[in-house]
Amino acid sequence: MLFKKAADLLSREVTGKDLYLNRRKFLAGAAGAGAAALAGERLYRVLAPAEVVRAGMKLDTVKQADFAGGEKETPYKDVTNYNNFYEFGTDKYNPASEAPKYLHPRPWSVAVEGLVKQPKTYDVDSLLKMFPLEERIYRHRCVEGWSMVIPWLGFPLGDFLRRVEPASKARFVEFTTLYDPKQMPGQNTRVLDWPYVEGLRLDEAMHPLTLLTFGLYGETLPNQNGAPIRLVIPWKYGFKSIKSVVRIRLVASQPATTWNRAAPNEYGFYSNVNPDVDHPRWSQARERRIGEFYKRKTLMFNGYADQVARLYNGMDLRKYF
Amino acid sequence: MIRRVWKPAVFAACLLPLANLGWKGWKGELGANPIEVITHSTGLWTLIFLLVTLTVTPARKLLAMPWLIRFRRMLGLFAFFYGCLHLLTYVWLDKFFDLHDMVKDIAKRPFITVGFAGFGLLVPLAVTSTRKMIQRLGGMRWRWLHRLIYLSAMAGVVHFYWQVKKDVTRPLYYAGVLALLLGYRIAAYLVPKLTWHVVAQPAPAPSVERET
C-alpha cells in the first residue's frame, strides 16, 4: 500500500503539470473537462476565483491520496481540540478555546525573502490558488508520544519554492509564525522565545511530501490548527510543522529554530520521527494514537522511510536527531 | 463529632477527585486523550494530598487547632491511594504490564526513577500507619520513619518538574508550596519558641489518633 503510494507520489509532478495546464478550465468552472482529464480522481466543487475565503470554508481538491496506509482518520473533534500551539497557551485545550477568539486569519500575507530570485509578499488567498489543492492523509506524530491521522489540504511546498526560484546559495528554508501578542496572547508569556521559527534543509523543503497546507477535513484550517497557512512535514515530529506562517526565508546556513534553542539536547534541528532515538526524558519507541487504547510501535520516519530515508544517507541519526 | 461527622465527610471529600474522573470518563468527557488525563490527574492528586498532609502540623500549631491531627493519617493514606492509582495507570495503561520495558524506563529515565522512588517511600509509611504498628515501633522511631514523607514529596515535585515539556509554571507552584511547608519545619526546629508556644502540647505524637 505504502509502496504504491510512494510511486504515486513520485509521479506526482506529471499529474501536477497536467492539472496545471488545466487550471483555467477548473477555475472557469469547467469541472467536467477537468474531471475527464483526471480519470479516477475525485473532484470537489470548484472554487470561483472571486469568492472570499473564510475560516471553516469548504476548499476544493483535485485529488486525494492516502499516505497513512489506510489507517483510520482521527475524528475532526480531536484534531481540532487537542493541539499544541503555545501562542495560545500551553494546555492542549487552550488553542481550541482561545485561537478562535483572537486570531484573524484574513487578510494575511506571507513574505518570501532571502536568497530567491523572486522575493515577493503574497496574499494568502492568491497563494492558495497558485496550485491545485490536494487532500493528503498523513500520520502526525507529536514529540510527546501521541499521534493522529489527518486529512490535510494543500500543495507541495516544493512547487511553490520552484516558482520563487531559490538562488544557488540557498541551502535552508526558515519559516516564521506571526508575532502579534494581541492575536496570540500566549506570546505575552516567556514560555518560548517568540516569534516561533522553524527550518528545513532545502532538499527537505523541496521533498514532495512536504505540504504547504491551507486546510484539513475539506475546509480551511481552523485557527487552532495554524490558520490560514502552515507546513506539514509528516516524517518529522509535529513541532516542525510550523503554524500560521508569515515569512518564508531562503538562507545559506542552518536557521536557529525555536525548540532547538529552548532545549538543544532535547529537540534537534532535524527532529525526524525515530523510534530508536529517545527523547532524553522519555522513550520514542511507542506512541498513543488518539482514540486507541493500546500504544502502537512508532515507525521509522513515521512510516515514510521509503520516501525520505535517502535524504539522510550517511548521516548519524543519533547525532543529527 | 469529629469521628461521627467530620471524618466521614473528609473521607468522602477525598474521594471526589476520583469520582470526578469516573463520572467524566463514563460520560466520555475526558477529551481526546483520556489516558493522559487519568495519568496526570491521579499524579497531581497524589502530590496535592502529600502537601495537604504536610500542612496539618503547621496548621494545627499556627492556628491552634490541635484536633487537626486526627485527619492526618487519613490524608496521608489518600496520598498513598492516589499514588497507587497513578502507578497503576503507568503499569497498565502506559506499559501494559511489560516488565522489561518498565525496568528499562526506571533505569533510564530520571523522571520515572524519581517518581518510583517517591512512591516507594510511601509504602513503609502506609504499612506502619496502624495503631498496632505505631505501638510496635514506638513513637520516636515511628516519627523518624514518617519523616520519609518529606523526601517523597520532594521526589513528587521533581517528578512533576521533569515530566513537563516546557511550561514549568505549575510544577514550580507546587515546589513553592512544598518549600514553605518544609521551611516551616526548619524554622520550627531552629527557633522552637516562635512556633511551639502556640499550643501547649508540642509533639504530634501518634497516640493522638486515639479517640479520647
Phi, psi of A110 (to 5 degrees): -125, 120
Nearest chain A Cα distance for residue B207, angstroms: 44
Nearest chain B Cα distance for residue A145, angstroms: 11
- Is A190 within 8 Å of chain B by CB? no
B166 contacts: CB under 8 Å, gap ≥ 6: A86, A90, A191, A192, A262, A263
- Is B94 within 8 Å of chain A by CB? yes
ipTM: 0.81
Chain B (22-81) residues lying within 8 Å, Cβ to Cβ, of chain A: 31-33, 35-36
Contact B32 A290 (CB under 8 A): yes
Chain A (152-181) residues lying within 8 Å, Cβ to Cβ, of chain B: none
Contact A77 B162 (CB under 8 A): no
List, for residues B48-63, the tens digit of each pLDDT value. Answer: 999 999 999 999 989 9
Pairing of strands A134-141, A146-156: antiparallel
- Is B103 within 8 Å of chain A by CB? no
A131 contacts: CB under 8 Å, gap ≥ 6: A16, A20, A155, A156, A159, A160
A146 close to A238: Cβ distance less than 8 angstroms = no
Q: Which amino acid is at A4?
A: K
- Is A90 within 8 Å of chain B by CB? yes
Give the pLDDT band of residue A200 (cuts 50, 70, 90): very high
Count helices and strands (H / E) in chain B.
Answer: 11, 0
B208, burial (CB in 10 Å: exposed 0-12, middle 13-18, buried 19+): middle
> Looking at residue A259, what is its pLDDT?
97
CA B127 to chain centre: 14
- Cα distances from B43 to residues A90, A157, B77, B103, in angstroms, run 19, 43, 15, 20
A259 close to A127: Cβ distance less than 8 angstroms = no
Contact B96 A295 (CB under 8 A): yes
Q: Which residue has the cell 499514588?
A: B83
Contacts of B167 in chain A (CB under 8 A): 86, 90, 191
Distance (Å, rounded) from C-alpha A266 to C-alpha B37?
24
Q: Closest partner residue to A288 among B35, B109, B163, by Cβ?
A: B35
- With respect to residue B175, please indicate whether it lies within any of the assigned structural domains: yes
When scoring A224, A281, A294 by the number of chain B Cβ atoms within 10 A, the one with the most, hence best to mutate, is: A281
When scoring A260, A294, A295, A297 by the number of chain B Cβ atoms within 10 A, the one with the most, hence best to mutate, is: A295
> Looking at residue A13, what is its pLDDT?
42
- With respect to residue B210, please indicate whether it lies within any of the assigned structural domains: no
User: Closest-CA residue in chain B for A191?
Assistant: B167
Percent of residues, chain B, with pLDDT higher than 70: 91
A131 close to A121: Cβ distance less than 8 angstroms = no
Q: Is the pLDDT of residue A46 over 50?
A: no
Q: Which of A189-198, B11-20, B101-110, B145-154 has the lowest mean pLDDT?
A: B101-110
- With respect to residue B149, please indicate whether it lies within any of the assigned structural domains: yes
| Entry pTM | 0.83
Q: Which residue has the cell 475560516?
A: A55
List, for residues A262-309, the tens digit of each pLDDT value. Answer: 999 999 999 999 999 999 989 999 999 999 999 999 999 999 999 999
> Looking at residue B139, what is its pLDDT?
86
- With respect to residue B208, please indicate whether it lies within any of the assigned structural domains: no
> Looking at residue A298, what is its pLDDT?
97
Question: Alpha helix locations (H) across A190-319?
Answer: 202-206, 258-262, 305-308
Angle formed by the axes of helices B110-127 and B99-108, nearest 10°: 110
Q: Which of A208-222, B116-130, B158-172, B193-207 has the lowest mean pLDDT?
A: B193-207
Helix (H, G, I), strand (E, B) or coil at A97: helix
List, for residues A139-198, the tens digit of each pLDDT value. Answer: 999 999 999 999 999 999 999 999 999 999 999 999 999 999 999 999 999 999 999 999
**CATH no. for A2-312:** 3.90.420.10
List, for residues B137-191, the tens digit of each pLDDT value. Answer: 998 999 999 999 999 999 999 999 999 888 899 999 999 999 999 999 999 888 8
Chain A (63-82) residues lying within 8 Å, Cβ to Cβ, of chain B: 77-78, 81-82
Contacts of A77 in chain B (CB under 8 A): 32
Distance (Å, rounded) from C-alpha A313 to C-alpha A309?
7
Nearest chain A Cα distance for residue B34, angstroms: 9
Q: B105: which 3 cell numbers?
A: 524506563
Contact A81 B163 (CB under 8 A): no
Q: B101: which 3 cell numbers?
A: 520495558
Residue from A188, A193, A161, A156 nearest A176 by CA: A193
Taking all residues of chain A, what is their mean pLDDT, rounded to a whole number? Answer: 87
Residue from A281, A267, A150 nearest B158 by CA: A281
Contact A77 B110 (CB under 8 A): no
Contacts of A146 in chain B (CB under 8 A): 33, 36
- Is B161 within 8 Å of chain A by CB? no
Q: Which of A39-48, A63-72, A159-168, A185-194 has the lowest mean pLDDT?
A: A39-48
User: Closest-CA residue in chain B for A294?
Assistant: B93
Q: What is the DSSP letter of A263?
A: -
Give the pLDDT band of residue A10 (cuts 50, 70, 90): very low
Range of the domain at B132: 2-202
Give the pLDDT band of residue B194 (cuts 50, 70, 90): low
Q: Closest partner residue to A192 among B31, B36, B166, by Cβ?
A: B166
> Looking at residue B193, what is its pLDDT?
66
